[in-house]
């Protein structure tokens, strides 16, 4: 299966511009914007974040945010301890 490239398309139902991309973990994400210019700016920003994370040079605040997202999804206290969080 061929991977889809990040793209911007105008939704006919809402008139908003939808941005589709894959995050650093390969998970498909999307955002919507009122204008194409805003959508292009948002896509550039997200792709820069993905590249920084993959290269290992992401800003500490961005890495911390992604760590918090992971920890918030953990239900087993033992797994949480292994990630460095408090049970």
What are 35-62's pLDDT values in tens digits? 999 999 999 998 888 888 777 765 555 6
To the nearest whole percent, how much of the chain has pLDDT over 90?
Answer: 31
Residues 28, 45 within the same domain: yes
* Strand positions, DSSP E, the chain: 7-10, 17-22, 28-33
- Checking if the pLDDT of 67 tops 60, the result is no
Q: Are residues 17 and 48 in the same domain?
A: yes
Same domain (yes/no): 35, 6: yes
Cβ partners under 8 Å of residue 62, min gap 6: 49, 52, 53
Q: Per-residue pLDDT averaged across 55-82, rounded?
A: 59
Instruction: Identify the domain containing residue 67 by its residue range.
Output: 58-87
pTM: 0.59
């Amino acid at each position: 299966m061929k991977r889809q490239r990040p793209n911007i398309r105008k939704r006919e139902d809402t008139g908003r511009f939808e941005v589709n991309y894959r995050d650093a973990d390969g998970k498909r994400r999307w955002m919507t914007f009122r204008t194409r210019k805003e959508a292009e700016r948002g896509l550039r920003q997200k792709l820069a974040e993905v590249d920084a994370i993959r290269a290992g040079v992401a800003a500490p605040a961005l890495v911390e945010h992604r760590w918090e997202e992971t920890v918030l999804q953990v239900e087993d206290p033992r797994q949480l301890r292994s990630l460095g969080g408090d049970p």
